[in-house]
Chain A
Amino acid sequence: MAFVQQSSPHAHSARPTSRVMLWVLIAALPGLLAQTLFFGWGNLINVVFCIAVAIASEAALLKLRKKPVAFFIKDNTAAVTGLLLGLSLPQFAPWWVSAVAVISAIVVAKQLYGGLGSNPFNPAMVGYALVLVSFPVAMTTNWAEPAMLWDGAPGFGETLATIASGQQTAVDGWTMATPLDEYKHKITTHTAAEVLNHPTFGEGVAKGWEWVNAAFLAGGLLLIGLRIISWHIPAGFLGGLIVMSLAFGNNADLYSPLSLHLLAGGTMLGAFFIATDPVSAATSHQGKLIYGAGIGILIYLIRTWGNYPDAVAFSVLLMNFAVPFIDHYTPPRTYGHHKARRGVPGSQG
C-alpha cells in the first residue's frame, strides 16, 4: 500500500491561529464586562457592530482578492480587529465613526497590504487614529459618564438608538470628559486636590476606568499564562510609562500622577491586547522590550506634552514604523556564537 509521505516533524501541537485569536477574544471579555458594568451598554454594542463590520469587510476584500473567504474568516483575526476597535471607541460614538474606523482598518491597513501577516501597521490602531484625526468632536465628546449599568446608565434601547441615530454628539447628561482629559486640562489652573474633586475620578483613581484597566490586566495575564503573548511587550510598555512618569511627572500639581497613567485611559488594553499584535511588533525578546518601552515612552510624551489626552494609537503606530529598525539591531545570540549577528549581510552594524 502507499504510505503517506511527509516531511518531519510528523507531530504537531493543536493550537492553530484561529484558537490563538479565540483566546484573545475570550481574554478581553473581563474588560468588556467591566466596561459594560461601569459605563453602560455602549461598548458592548460597539464591539458587536465592529466585529460584524470587520468580518463583512474582510470577506468582501478576500472575495475581491480572489482568496478563499471561509478559510481566512475562520482564523478570527478580523474579529479581533473589530473587537479591539469596539473596546477602544467612545461608548456613544455614532455608528458611522465606528464603521469608518473598522473599514479603514480591515480594507486599507490589512487587506491592501496583503492580508493577514503582511500588514506593517496595527490595523485597529490605523482605524482608530484615522477617526480620531478626522472626527475629533465625535471622538472626544462621546465618552460615557461612569455610572453602574443597573444604576444611572442609559438603557440598552436608548444607547442603541443614540449610536444608530448618527448624531455627532450624544445626550449631554450621559457623557463626560475622560479622567486623563479632565486632569490634563484642569491641572494647569487648579491644584491636584481640586481637580480630583470632579466626579469622573470617583473614590479611587478614576471611577470605573480603574476596574476596566484591572480587568484588561487580568485578561492580559491570562494570555501570558497561556503563552499566547510573551511578557516582553507589556513589560516594556508599562515599564517605559512608569519610568517616564516617575522621572518627569512626580509632581501631581503639575502633571497627571502615575496611578492615573496606569489605570485610566487605554493603558492596559493597549499594553496587553493592542501593542502585542505580533504581525506589526518587533521579533526578538530584546526587540519586544525596546518596542514596548518605546510605546510607553511615547504615550507619556503625547499625554503630557501633546494635544491628545490619550495616545495609545499614535504611539503604537509610531513604533510600528520603528519595527524593521529594531529588528535590524536586536537579533538574539544563536547557540554557539559569541555574539548576535546584527543587521543584514553587507551592511554596517
Chain B
Amino acid sequence: MKILVCISKTPDTTAKIAFTDNNTKFNEAGVQFIINPYDEWYALVRALELKETLGATVHLITAGGADTEPIIRKALALGGDEAFRINTDSQDSYFIAAQIAAHAQQQSYDLVLTGKETIDYNGSAIGGMVAELLDQPFISIAAKLELNGTEATVNREIEGGEEILKVTLPLVVSCQKGMAEARIPNMRGIMAARTKTLTVVEPVAADTLTAIASFELPAPKAGVKMISADNVEELVKLLHEEAKVF
C-alpha cells in the first residue's frame, strides 16, 4: 500500500494578515508558518494510522520554495517516510494539481489524501483536480476512511448529515475533522526526520489558469452598540427596525 499526502505551508491560525507590494503579496514578515491544519491533523495522521494498522508507505508532497522545508521535516517527524518538494512558487491550483498528478502517475499510489482546503487560499481545489487528472474516484470533505483490502468505506459530509460511500482503490480523498486525532511529533521522530529523503522536483510544464490581481482587507466594523442586559426589548427593536434581520 502506497499513500501520498499533499501538504501545504500556511500561516498560523493566529497570524496577522497584511499585504505588501501594493496589496499584491502576502506580508510574511514575522509570520509563523505551519502545515495546513487539515493536511496535518486529518490527512497525514490518517495516513499514519493506516500505515500502523495495515502497513503502508507514506509519501509527502508539497509545492513551494526552500522555505517550505521546515514544515516538510515536521511532517516527516510525525511519521511520513519520504518527501517530495515541487520547486515552484505558483499559486494557481491547476498548476499545482498538475504537478502532483504528474508525480502520482509515476509512483502509482493506492490512496492520495489532501486536507479539505487550505486555511490561506481556501480553494478546496487540489484533491478534485488531482483526481480528475488521474482519472480516479474522488471523495470530498470526508470525516472517516476505513480500508478493507482495496475496498474503502468513506463518510462524506453533506448538508445536515453524511453519506457513507464504498469505492475500490485507487482513490483521492479530501479530509476534515473526524478523520483522525491530531498528534505531536516526538523526539525520536524529529531525529529520524533529519535523515529521511526529501527530493526536490522541478515542475513539469503545465498551464496557469488564474492569477491573483490584488488583496484587500475587510472594512473595519462601525463599532458595537452596547445594550443593557435589563433591556433586551431594546435589542429586539434594533434588530427588527434598524438591522431589519427579522
A binds B: no
Which residues from chain B sit less than 8 Å from chain A, CB to CB? none
